[in-house]
Amino acid sequence: MSERKPDSARIRKLLDAYADGELSPAAELEVERALVAHPELSAELERIRELKALLASAAPEPSAEKLEKLSASVAAALESPPAASRRSGRVPGDTPAFRKAFLAIAAVLLLLLLPLGYYSRHRKDAPSAKVEEVEVGEGSGVKVISPEGASYSVIRITTHERDAVSVREIETAEGYSCEVVEDPDSGDAVIRLIPPAEEDDRKE
């Protein structure tokens, strides 16, 4: 009996993904065989499906009136020029002069952060920028922060493998990009800015 426990625990962990239709064909087959052999797993699967159904039907429904107002507010904001948001200080200008100043200030900030262990890897080639990872439990969100404290908008994150290490590249709405390299041993994420020159090299 003790020999079957690890398999049973493994299958239990796969049941949620099976209910979600997210397993590979081989893993799916493994679960289906276990379901036939162990009826208690079928009951477990049924409970997962019941919970999923309940969650789907229990979704909060924001009021239709507020949703209409949301649409109207967005449409109205889009009709005004984007410069309005820059005036409010939320999105800094993107002129070459500003970028130079930004990178210079950010370089100082980065040097201040290094001794704190903020960047534990890629120190020797970490370029200038202040990047902050906002942690909320494990669901961390990556933020790129300007020297003034305004956050840039992350518009795309792509993940790929480089030398067996998971690398996430981040593109911001304001034109800066950076990457997150995940340490395969510790799972820690290290963030660094990709300077335009390096980006060009990688494209070639």
Partner 1 sequence: MPEPDDRTLIKRFLAGDRDALDELLRRYRGEAVRIALSVLHNEDDAFDAAQEAFIKVFRNIHKFGGRSRFSTWLYRIVYNAALDVARKKRRYVNRTEGKGEDQRAGNPADRGEYAPPDDRLARSEKEELVRRCLDELPFKYRVVITLKDIEGLSYDEIAEMLSTSRGNVMSRLYYGRSRLRKMIEARMKR
Tell whether residue 70 is a contact of partner 1 (CB under 8 A). Answer: yes
Q: Which of 1, 26, 75, 116 binds partner 1 (CB under 8 A)?
A: 75
Of 101, 178, 95, nearest to 147 by C-alpha is 101
Of 166, 170, 155, nearest to 188 by C-alpha is 166
- Closest distance to partner 1 from the beta carbon of 86 (Å): 11
Tell whether residue 171 is a contact of partner 1 (CB under 8 A). Answer: yes
Nearer to partner 1, 24 or 115 (CB): 24
Tell whether residue 42 is a contact of partner 1 (CB under 8 A). Answer: no
Tell whether residue 204 is a contact of partner 1 (CB under 8 A). Answer: no
Q: Which of 120, 140, 162, 183 binds partner 1 (CB under 8 A)?
A: 140
Beta-ladder partners of 144: 131, 152
Angstrom distances, CA of residue 173 to CA of 3, 20, 67, 142, 145: 54, 33, 25, 13, 12
Contacts of 134 (CB under 8 A, 6+ apart): 140, 141, 142, 143
CA distance 195 to 200: 9
- Closest distance to partner 1 from the beta carbon of 51 (Å): 6
Tell whether residue 116 is a contact of partner 1 (CB under 8 A). Answer: no
Nearer to partner 1, 42 or 73 (CB): 73
Angstrom distances, CA of residue 72 to CA of 60, 69, 78, 144: 21, 5, 10, 29
Q: Which of 36, 114, 134, 165 binds partner 1 (CB under 8 A)?
A: 134
DSSP 114: G
Residues near partner 1 (CB under 8 A): 13, 16-17, 20, 22, 47-48, 51-52, 54-63, 66-67, 70-71, 73-75, 77-78, 82, 85, 134-143, 151, 153-159, 166, 168, 171, 173, 180, 182, 189
